[in-house]
Amino acid sequence: MKTQWRDHDWQLIHGQARSPALHMALDEVITDEVAAGRRAPTLRVWEWASSAVVIGRFQSLRNEVDPDGATRHGIEVVRRITGGGAMFIEPGNTITYSLSAPASLVDGLSFEQSYAFMDAWVLDALRTLGIEAWYQPLNDIASRSGKIAGAAQMRRGNAVLHHVTMAYDIDANKMLEVLRIGREKLSDKATQSAVKRVDPLRSQTGLAREAVIERMIDTFRSHHGLQADSLREGELERAQALMRQKFATPAWTALVP
Residues that bind other proteins (CB under 8 A): 56-60, 62-63, 81-86, 111, 137-139, 152-155, 256-257
CB of 137 to other proteins, least distance (A): 7
**Residue 9: count of CB within 10 angstroms of its CB:** 11
- Under 8 Å between Cβ of 62 and 68: no
CB of 205 to other proteins, least distance (A): 27
Radius of gyration of the chain (CA): 17
- Under 8 Å between Cβ of 148 and 133: yes
Indicate the residue among 56 and 69 with the shorter CB distance to other proteins.
56
One-letter identity of residue 13: I
CA distances from 220 to 52, 59, 121, 224 (A): 27, 31, 6, 6
CB of 118 to other proteins, least distance (A): 14
- Under 8 Å between Cβ of 93 and 168: yes
Indicate the residue among 131 and 152 with the shorter CB distance to other proteins.
152
Q: Are strands 42-46 and 11-13 parallel, antiparallel or unpaired?
A: parallel
Indicate the residue among 86 and 141 with the shorter CB distance to other proteins.
86
Indicate the residue among 160 and 248 with the shorter CB distance to other proteins.
160
CB of 55 to other proteins, least distance (A): 9
| Cα–Cα distance measured from residue 63 to residue 40, given in angstroms and rounded to the nearest whole number | 38
Indicate the residue among 231 and 256 with the shorter CB distance to other proteins.
256
